[in-house]
Amino acid sequence: MDAQLLTLIDLQGFDTRLAALEAEAARLPKQIEAIHLALAEAKKIVDALKLKADTTRKDLRTKEKDLEVVTAKRAKAEGRLWEVKNNTEYSAVLSEIEAIKQEKAHGEEEILGLMELQERLTAEGREAESRLKAREEQARQDEAVVRKKLAAVEAELAGLRTDRQSRAQALPRPLLADYEKILKARSGVAVASVTASAVCSGCRVSIRPQAIQELKAAQAPMLCENCGRYLYWQEPA
């Protein structure tokens, strides 16, 4: 086979592999980003739970203080029972005490509810936290795997680029420039094979019998008349 055609076939091999690796090198950092994003979401849930527990704790303190005030109010009202001058005042203070009792009962109920809520939130928070810890550990491992893969891909890319560069030097500059132009215009495939089915593997259009004969002879690089890619004859396996 023509030496230039052989070089073109080699270059196509390099460029196909390079394109796949470059896609991989672009994809892997996104995978790391997704790992971080999922972890941040999980952390947000834990933080929200903590905030809710904090708010509940504060609410509880406030209600407890309110209850102290009500209790003091009740003691004061009860003391006044001994100071009243007549029945009217007496019943007035009694009904005041009754109202305070109800207020106190209501406050106690609220406190009980808040204590239950706090207990539940604390338990949920603990669970969420331990789930988060497990996720963080998993994320660390996952990220390490991806980073290792990325490093391997980048190392392979660097090696391949060097090899491709030196292989490309075998081609005259105009031919290399043509090849690269076709590569860009034809979605990364500039060199296409033709087999016994007599179609260009790049565009699937039939090749004239006359051209097939020339291809088989492979005296010089030939272009597909339809898609403009370089063609080469591939013997049936």
- Least distance between Zn ion and beta carbon 9 (Å): 15
231 sits in which H/E element = strand 230-233
- Least distance between Zn ion and beta carbon 175 (Å): 18
**215 binds Zn ion per the rule CB under 5 A:** no
**222 binds Zn ion per the rule CB under 5 A:** no
**11 binds Zn ion per the rule CB under 5 A:** no
Residue 47: how many CB atoms within 10 A of its CB?
13
Residue 39 vs 227, nearer CB to Zn ion: 227
Residue 46 vs 227, nearer CB to Zn ion: 227
Residue 12 vs 56, nearer CB to Zn ion: 12
**221 binds Zn ion per the rule CB under 5 A:** no
Of 143-202, which residues contact Zn ion (CB under 5 A)? 200, 202
Q: Which region holds residue 118: left if phi is over 0, alpha if psi is between -120 and 50, else beta? A: alpha
Q: Which stretch binds Zn ion (CB under 5 A): 55-63, 74-82, 91-99, 218-226?
A: 218-226
Q: Within 13 Å, how many C-alpha atoms sit on residue 131's CB side?
A: 15
The answer to whether 194 touches 225, Cβ cutoff 8 Å, is no
Could you tell me where the beta strands, DSSP code E, fall in 58-100? none
Residue 125 vs 228, nearer CB to Zn ion: 228
- Distances, alpha carbon 109 to alpha carbons 54, 74, 88, 89, 98, in Å: 20, 17, 32, 30, 17
Between strands 230-233 and 191-194, the pairing is parallel
Please give the residue ranges that form the binding site for Zn ion (CB under 5 A): 200, 202-203, 224, 226-227
